[in-house]
Amino acid sequence: MTFSDALCPSCALFLDFDGTLVEIASHPQAVVVPKGLPATLARWRDVLGGAVAVVSGRPIQQIDGFLAPVVLSVAGVHGAERRRADGSVAWQTVHPMQPVVDAAAALVRAYPSLEMESKRGAVAVHYRQAPQLQFLCLSTMQAAVERSEGLTLLCGKMVVEAKPSCTSKSQAIDAFMQEVPFAGRTAVFVGDDATDESGFASVQRRGGIGVKVGDGPTVARARVADPMAMREAMERALARYTERRA
């Protein structure tokens, strides 16, 4: 099974953002959105009857900013906020985050090359500029999470993030799949990080397809080389589909 095969008009498409749709940048704010990407996503949304959603650790507002003027369904902050196809937003309960906020702030004060990102419902510490601090970031944030009920630590590419245990990308995808226009379609979830693996497993258990972007071990049944290959595959499949309909 290739990603191109999975992209058919009866699928529902769930897309991670960083490292999947766009290349990872030195800072979270520095990602570059390729010029044609929002339009390609909008065309897929039309082809799939609206069943396209971005599933990201970023807040919805940031995804909207990157993809403007296109507005898609989005699960933000790992599902803590979820904008449905009809535009309504579902908010998950937010747990008290103070111990992890304090721990992250102290880390960044001590090591200014670290970057803290505070969101409604999650706190992340990025160590892309200081990979040698990985263990310190992990152990500090793990200790803080253990002092905070209902939180869990997520370890992504050059980032550790404290988030509510009850939110996850796979739960967000499941929630979309119970709603119009996603329900009844074959879920295809594309992601690049270790944190996307549970999402791959979850869609595949339900007859869908996980697509891993990049190298590394994965349970996903399909793979593409990098975000550029991913975008090209989306464009090619779109051209093929439009041709067939003409």
By beta-carbon proximity to Mg ion, the closer residue of 9 and 28 is 28
Residue 3 CB coordination number (10 Å): 22
By beta-carbon proximity to Mg ion, the closer residue of 45 and 169 is 169
Q: 16 catalytic, yes or no?
A: yes
Tokens of 235: 């464009």
Dmax over CA atoms of the chain, in Å, equals 61
Q: How far is the CB of 213 from Mg ion (least distance, A)?
A: 8
Judge residue 79's burial from the number of C-beta atoms within 10 Å of its C-beta, 0-12 exposed, 13-18 middle, 19 or more buried: buried
Q: Which residues bind Mg ion (CB under 5 A)?
A: 16, 18-19, 192-193
Whole-angstrom distance, CA of residue 52 vs CA of residue 163: 24
Q: How far is the CB of 106 from Mg ion (least distance, A)?
A: 27
Q: How far is the CB of 19 from Mg ion (least distance, A)?
A: 4
Q: Positive or negative CA dihedral for 181, 90, 59, 210?
A: negative
Helices (H), the chain: 3-6, 37-47, 60-67, 98-110, 134-146, 169-177, 197-205, 227-245
Write the CA distances from 20 to 24, 115, 136, integer angstroms: 8, 22, 27
The residue to which tokens 């975008």 are assigned: 231
Tokens of 195: 């944190």
Position with the least CB separation from Mg ion: 19
Q: How far is the CB of 244 from Mg ion (least distance, A)?
A: 31
By beta-carbon proximity to Mg ion, the closer residue of 47 and 67 is 67
Given 16, 64, 193, 196, which residue is catalytic? Answer: 16
By beta-carbon proximity to Mg ion, the closer residue of 156 and 208 is 156
By beta-carbon proximity to Mg ion, the closer residue of 117 and 192 is 192
Q: How far is the CB of 80 from Mg ion (least distance, A)?
A: 16
| Catalytically active residues, by annotation | 16
